[in-house]
Amino acid sequence: MNGYIPRLADAELERSLRRQGGVLIQGPKGCGKTETAKQQAASFLDVETDPGVTLAMDNDPRLLLEGATPRLIDEWQLQPRLWDFARHVIDERQAKGQFIFTGSTAPGADATSHSGAGRFARMTMSTMTLFETGESDGSVSLAAAVAGDPLPFSTPDLTLPQLAERVCRGGLPYNVGLPTDDSLENVREYVQTVADVDIHTVGGVNRDSERVRRMIRSLARGVGTELELQTIATDSDTSRETTRDYLDALARIFVSVDQPAWFTHLRSKATLRKAPKRHLADPCFAMAALDRGPEHLLRDPAYFGQLFESLVVHELRALTGRTVYHARLNTKLEVDAVANVGGRDVLVEVKLGYTPEVIEHAAGTLKRFAGHLEDDPAVVVITSGGPALRRSDGVAVIPIGALGP
């Protein structure tokens, strides 16, 4: 446990083990799944490196599931039959908290014969949030803000240059504490490995690494937008069919993450658009794919704003443990993110700036959008800096350097 940085997922894993026989933790490679699982596991099997795995799979796979519980089975997707064996063992034991399965590749639909419903809880981990790395002081609780509690007076120390550096460095746990240049090089190598190695592990298909790089660059340029399939296909010089396959592969290794369009009942005659927004699992992957650093963001506020929005969506996913949506009406009125906190919908506008005019415009957008809804959502503006406050109209303004669970 020495050196382990506590994660938001710790509490979720504890709850999941308490209520189900097993827990499946998925997420991008290197985001900390295994280390998080080890904190609560009583025994451990590394499917990728243990020399006895192949022999056991040929003879009696259930032997691999024996050990003190919860038993951690890491990179289980390399031997997907273990899933069904674990499901049967859970049924036989009739006990909670038996297994933790971790993997950085989502298996295909045919990899398991049973979903594990009623036996396995599912968690998706992300790279580290600013709260987890200590770059947010966490003085403003998202849950408390949504509940309508008074916001504490907080003006975090995070500056715009520091935020630009953090966007480029990202939230990979092994980058914590490293000099910026070393962190940036690690992220570039990560993206390179995705194209050269990881993409080929999905379905055993040999994909063109250079086209993968082009596709990631296309996603990087369009991060946080409703980037169309044809645009990605053109950018990467691939057919639409091949583009779909590559995008599916990137999603299955949790490098590409779509932000789905929100669906709800409206009181007005407006309609909601259905196209998802495209994101990479961490905004740092976009900067690495484009071979850019913090100084480029400071010279390009429009793109900085794009990546800041993507960062906030990343933070909201981790803080809520749920899918984060976006919403756009056919009238072009839109909000950047829709989350659910404590059972209440939350409309979020993301603003790199935080002048009174910027805040006023964002608050107006949120209130106009809320006017189309049947329910009464919470409304939040997340900024790059400035003070935390609750306006007289109820809109919460939270700088990202203060945002916590």
Claim to verify: residue 100 and residue 216 sit in the same structural domain: no
**Based on the domain organization, do 235 and 336 belong to the same domain?**
yes
Report which of 255, 243, 261 is spatially closest to residue 289, judged by C-alpha positions: 255
Q: Are residues 116 and 15 in the same domain?
A: yes
The answer on 28 and 109 residing in a single domain is yes
pLDDT tens sequence across 137-152: 999 999 999 999 999 9
**Domain co-membership, 88 together with 195:** no
Per-residue pLDDT, 266: 84
Give the end of a domain, one of 63, 92, 124. 124
Q: What is the pLDDT of residue 249?
A: 97
Each residue's pLDDT tens digit, 365-405: 999 999 999 999 999 999 999 999 999 999 999 999 999 99
Q: What is the pLDDT of residue 117?
A: 74
Q: Is 4 contained in some domain?
A: no
The pLDDT, as a whole number, for residue 161 is: 98
How many structural domains are present in the chain?
2
Q: Is residue 369 part of a domain?
A: yes
Structure tokens at 328: 């756009």
User: What does the pLDDT read at residue 327?
Assistant: 96
For residue 2, the model assigns a pLDDT of 62
Q: Are residues 242 and 383 in the same domain?
A: yes
8 A C-beta contact, residue 282 and residue 236: no
Q: Say yes or no: 361 and 382 in one domain.
A: yes
Residue 201 lies in a domain: yes
Q: Are residues 115 and 136 in the same domain?
A: no
Q: Are residues 146 and 108 in the same domain?
A: no
CB atoms within 10 A of CB 315: 25
71-74/140-141 β-pairing: unpaired
Task: Round to whole Å and give the CA distance between 31 and 126.
Answer: 6
Q: What's the Rg (C-alpha) of the chain?
A: 22
158 and 217 inside one domain: yes
Q: Which regions of the chain are under pLDDT 50? A: 1, 113
**Angle of CA points 224, 210, 27, to nearest 5°:** 50
Residue 2 falls inside a structural domain = no
pLDDT value for 162: 98
Long-range contacts formed by 38-43: CB under 8 A, 24+ apart: 38/72, 39/1, 39/4, 39/10, 40/10, 40/13, 40/14, 40/70, 40/100, 41/70, 41/71, 41/72, 41/100, 42/67, 42/68, 42/69, 42/70, 42/71, 43/67, 43/68, 43/69, 43/71, 43/72
In a domain, 73, yes or no: yes
Three-class secondary structure of residue 213 per DSSP: helix
pTM: 0.95
Residue 24: half-sphere exposure toward Cβ, Cα within 13 Å: 22
Q: Which of 124, 157, 180 is the last residue of a domain?
A: 124
223 in any annotated domain: yes
* CB 77, CB 111: distance < 8 Å: yes
Tokens of 14: 């504890």
Instruction: Give the per-residue pLDDT at 1.
Output: 45
Specify whether 317 is located in the same domain as 186.
yes
3 domain residue, yes or no: no
CATH code of the domain covering residue 17: 3.40.50.300
**Has residue 247 been placed in a domain?**
yes
Residue 166 shares a structural domain with residue 26: no
Structural domain containing residue 240: 130-404
**Boundary of a domain, candidates 104, 124, 144:** 124
